[in-house]
Structure 1
Amino acid sequence: MAQKVKLEIMTPRELLYRDEVDSVSVKTVSGSEGFMAGHTWALKLLPEQGGVTIRNGKNTRKARLRGGCLYVRDDIIILCDEAEWVS
């Protein structure tokens, strides 16, 4: 079984997502980057118009993000101005 990592996506108004996931792909100001359990510590800035793809088993979810940052240590935390699920 693959290792999982805890992911949280938060805006000033809500906690959009909190769960353990297999991987996360995020558009940062330096390009698209992927993160999994055991990733090197990182702090990344998010662009004004970006997005995230969450993979958990066979399930994939996508959300639009606006501004903010991504912090990777033991968990992955995304703090952004706005976030919404893409249908």
Structure 2
Amino acid sequence: MVLVLGRPGSGKSTLLRALAGKLESGLRVSGRVEYNGLESVPKQATAFVSQYDLHQGELTVQETLHFSHQLFGSSTLS
């Protein structure tokens, strides 16, 4: 898990949307992402949960991630 911290308007949400492949149409990015020196495919390795999503207050962070994965995820989760 990674924390992205910054002032309002600094681009945190835009960065995370870009990594998750959820940018608004018309916005383009280029480049590549490396993790531990290996190229990564962000759409396959990342997820984005907006601060405006409806969350179940009774669930832990881990339970929330597993719940979201079951609804929208790929075949693997670690």
Given the two structures, how large is their TM-score scaled by the length of structure 2?
0.25
Larger Rg: 2
Q: Say which structure, 1 or 2, has more relative contact order (CA 8 Å, 6+ apart).
A: 1
Structure number having the greater strand percentage = 1
Structure number having the greater helix percentage = 2
Given the two structures, how large is their TM-score scaled by the length of structure 1?
0.23
